[in-house]
Structure 1
Amino acid sequence: MTNWLSALSIYRDTRILAITFLGFSSGVPLLLSGSILQAWLTQEDVDLTSIGLFSLVGLPYTLKFLWAPLIDNLRIPLLDKLLGRRRSWLVFLQVCLIGATVFLAFSNPKADLLQVAVAALIVAFASASYDIIVDAFRIEICDDKNMAAGAATYVYGYRVAMWLTGFSSFFIAAYFGWSVSYLVMSGFILVGTVTALLTREPVTQAQSHQPEQFQNRQDYRQWLEQSVIAPFLDFMRKPHWLVIILFTILYKFGDSLAGAMTNPFYIQTGFSLTEIAEIVKTFGTVATFIGLFFGGWLLAATTMYKSLWICGLLQMFSNLLFAAQASIGHDLAFLAITIGIENIAGGMGTAVFVAYLSSLCNISYTATQYALLTSLTAVARTVLVAPAGWLADQVGWFEFFLVTTAAAIPGLVLLWWLSRIQPAPKKQEASQMSVE
């Protein structure tokens, strides 16, 4: 018992506290270019087809693996000497995020929808880039003893930020308007700036190549091969790697398709912004935390593939509750049931899926390969869900959520195929946890 209690002291480590706050600042901007923006556009009477297409502004989360090696290896002049390689990138990207969010705050959907799209795209690009450097910083600042604790606190910091931005943005918008709401959200990012300034630069043995260090073309070619090409070639040597990629994209597709249009659905069904803030954002976040806990417990109690099956089926059938909500209409009690079950299922699926993705990574290329895998998962919530608004507009909300339920089937078919041809992946600590 004494050993168990003493182990809790790891959470008093200042490095773990710093990771928690960095996780918070990383989680703030995700919804600002996603579901919160969709709610703003819905209130401005933007058509559902256009709102659905706005999911494409999340493309940077899908493509971030392309520039991850640059952020991982290059230094920022001047700032690097003052803060160090990792902290300089942290502060630089935080400033970019704040500026982009302020730009979005002063955009007007009624006057210029294109400007809103550009501003949201810049927010998403800065946010995706920031996620890359926070992951690198988190890994390097931790040792073997506190790596798991760092991953766990990062996830909870990220999730708390998503709850706070989702909850407070709706309340502030209800009383002061969306521009004020976005300005307040930009201030939340300062938590990460203060943390970066107060935290020491990680001490690592690895040295990055800088442009001035490239003496000839051979040096540059060698850097390119080791930093950019090798991680992808290594992944492509896995048996059935194309099927794995398809499964990574499609496993949570039904969940993502439904989630792309939930805020417009709530508003058009008659729920107020305060009701959405209280039930969807607050109660839903608590349910997600419960789901994350049960997902971890499930994986510890059974095999990886069984866990993926259970969570995949729960995610699929939870979408039927939204179809029932569409039939019932404005009913707060049933909304609480819908949100509770859907978020528990989604949290369980996230915990197990993160463990699965982590098990696919070669320890020699963990950061880049994990960036690749999380980029692929973002395809489902960006590119593939782009027609969601048009579909809802054409068939109605009840039929739309039936379609989202069916959209989970291809991922489960691939899971069935993988479970037959491949051994269960080894369960390992998800030190590269992601919550996207």
Structure 2
Amino acid sequence: MIFRNSGVPRRSWSETLKVYLETATLRMLFLGFSAGLPLMLVLGTLSFWLREAGIDRSTIGYLSWVGLAYAFKWMWAPLVDRLPIPLLTKWLGRRRSWLLLSQAAIMAGLIGMAFNDPHTGLEPIVWCALMVAFGSATQDIALDAFRIESADTDRQAALAASYQTGYRLAMIWAGAGVLWIAARAEVASAIGYQQGAWKVAYLVMAASMLVGVITVLFSAEPVRRILPPAKNMAAWLDDVVIGPFRDFIVRYRWQAALILALIAIYRISDVVMGIMANPFYVDMGYTKDEVAAVTKVFGIVMTLAGAFIGGALSMRFGMMRILALGAVMSSASNLLFVWLSGHGHDVQALVLVISADNLAGGIASAAFIAYLSSLTNISYSATQYALFSSIMLLLPKFLAGYSGAYVDAFGYASFFTGTALLGIPVIVLLWFAARIVPPQKQPEQSGDTA
């Protein structure tokens, strides 16, 4: 086989499935929900709200740059990794204190959005959305470190699958759920846009963040290596800011460039294609109800199934093999959209395509998260994982900005074919990356995994 198992002992299926019942794995389900909720509320759902309030499409497009907070979170990740928060850190520990602070910022931002009307003034909504995005990105930094430090490398795929499950459930709630709440909060006798309905919906979303808050309060702080205090500011900056990047380069040397290149393009087929998915559904004549039911609910269920399958297969057959399988499936599934583009309006055909595409995406995501986790040094887990996850988005998001122009020039069939072909360099890089021998890592201390 091209992709070896690197000497990892094979678990029985019984042992593999029991991992999903461990406390650390179940905890990630609820924390994943807390992580997935804000994303839709400042991007997808917000754009629906703004458009209904009469905001023009160009402005809505510009406001999507609020999401850049997620791509540049590595810039403040060193602070989250090492900087204690007065009072909170002494009470909760470093990881849980940052999680609680970021969750409080998200809730405050969502409440602020609820009490402002974009129809009468857009600027307050923008500032509150920035608070939510910044808090959400910070939560991601702390949560990734919390997950990595909560279990050994062998269990990271299961934790990633559980995290993805909670994340996707939150996306259903913040996507289809918030529209359902807003629709039922409308006054039947009123006509047109109703700010009060969106106020109710966003207040419910803010209250939903309590799932993460309660989980943090009842979780144990992972055991971390005690670090000696820095002698001066220069030494602190070297350790906190430069150290995580230097550590990765020293450990992997010239192979670091290969690994970073793989990270930068592994999800490129999915991300570039995903930007044009909703316009495609509209142009094909699918209704809002059809798109919501098939892509937002059923599609996410299929992603969850793929995440669990990917996590289980990674533990049984090895992470690199499933990483390769996910890459091939993700690229190939884009070709189904080529078929759909010439098939016309057909809900059954849409269900088939979404099933295959989201199942492939779930498998790829679970294996890829486990791969990124395996690359981190536990001394710099938050900073290094934030760097990897940021690199993962930058190039695909940049290319995706041109997706609309490409479709206008060449059509959907050519576009979907091109996104599938973008997966070929990924397969090539995976072939080389599978031959990298992981450096000796420091002994990892895990927290409460019972």
TM bin (shorter chain): 0.7 to 0.9
C-alpha change, 1:6 and 1:284, in structure 2 (3 Å) is closer
Of 126, 143, 160 in structure 2, the residue corresponding to residue 134 of structure 1 is: 143
Rounded Cα–Cα distance in structure 1 between residues aligned with 2:134 and 2:58 = 23
In structure 2, C-alpha distance between the alignment counterparts of 1:198 and 1:307, rounded to whole Å: 34
- Tell me the CA shift for residue 245 of structure 1: 2.5
d(CA) in 2 for partners of 1:268, 1:46:
21
The answer to whether 1:229 aligns with 2:229 is no
Match of 2:72 in 1: 63
Residues 149 and 224, structure 2, Cα contact 8 Å, conserved in 1: yes
Cα 1:418–1:83 change in 2 (3 A) is closer
Deviation at 1:253, TM superposition (A): 1.7
Amino acid at match of 1:257: V
Mapping 1:84-163, distance limit 5 Å: 84-112=93-121, 116-142=125-151, 150-163=159-172
* SS of match in other structure, 1:75: coil
Instruction: Tell me which moved more, 296-305 or 187-196.
Output: 296-305
TM-superposed deviation, 1:71: 1.3
User: Where do residues 10-409 of structure 1 align in structure 2 (5 Å cutoff)?
Assistant: 14-41=23-50, 43=52, 51-112=60-121, 116-142=125-151, 150-176=159-185, 177-207=197-227, 209=229, 218-237=231-250, 238-267=253-282, 269-296=284-311, 299=314, 307-380=322-395, 382-389=397-404, 391-392=406-407, 394-395=408-409, 399-400=411-412, 402-409=414-421
TM-score (norm 2): 0.78
Q: How many Å apart are 1:351 and its aligned residue?
A: 2.4
Instruction: Give the 3 Å change call, closer, same or farther, for CA 314–185 of structure 1 in structure 2.
Output: same
Give the paired residue count: 418
CA shift, 1:96, in A, is 0.4
Kindly, what percent of the aligned residue pairs are identical?
A: 39
How far off its partner does 1:129 sit? 0.1
The answer on whether the counterparts of 2:328 and 2:423 sit within 8 Å (CA) in structure 1 is no
RMSD: 3.7
Match of 1:416 among 428, 433, 436: 428
When structure 1 is superposed on structure 2, of 307-316 and 252-261 the one drifting more is: 307-316
Give the CA deviation at 1:327.
Answer: 4.4
- Post-superposition offset of 1:241: 3.1
Please say if residues 55 and 386 of structure 1, whose CA atoms lie closer than 8 Å, have aligned partners that are also in contact: no
SS of residue matched to 2:226? coil
How far residue 373 of structure 1 moved from its aligned partner, in angstroms, is 0.7
Deviation of the 1:34 alpha carbon = 2.8
Tell me: CA distance 1:315–1:223, structure 2 relative to 1, closer, same or farther (3 Å): same
State which drifts further: 286-295 or 3-12: 3-12
Letter in 2 for 1:416: V
Compared CA separation, residues 192 and 354, structure 1 to 2 (3 A): closer
Moved more, 69-78 or 148-157: 148-157
Equivalent position SS for 1:77: coil
SS at 2:435's partner residue? coil
1:256: how far off? 0.7
Task: Indicate the larger mover: 21-30 or 161-170.
Answer: 161-170
Question: 1:100 touches 1:119 (CA, 8 Å); kept in 2?
Answer: yes
CA distance in 2, matches of 1:304, 1:424: 13
State the SS of the aligned residue for 2:85: coil
Mark the runs of 5 or more structure 2 residues left unpaired by the alignment: 1-11, 186-196
C-alpha separation between the residues in 1 aligned to 2:159 and 2:273?
31
Distance 1:330 1:113, change over 3 A: farther
Equivalent-residue separation in structure 1 for 2:429 and 2:154 (angstroms): 37
Give the alignment's TM-score, normalised by structure 1.
Answer: 0.80
State the SS of the aligned residue for 2:400.
Answer: coil
SS of the residue corresponding to residue 206 of structure 1 reads: coil
Distance 1:37 1:268, change over 3 A: farther
Measure, in 1, the Cα distance between the counterparts of 2:397 and 2:123.
18
For structure 1, the 5+ residue unaligned runs are: none
SS in 2 for 1:423: coil
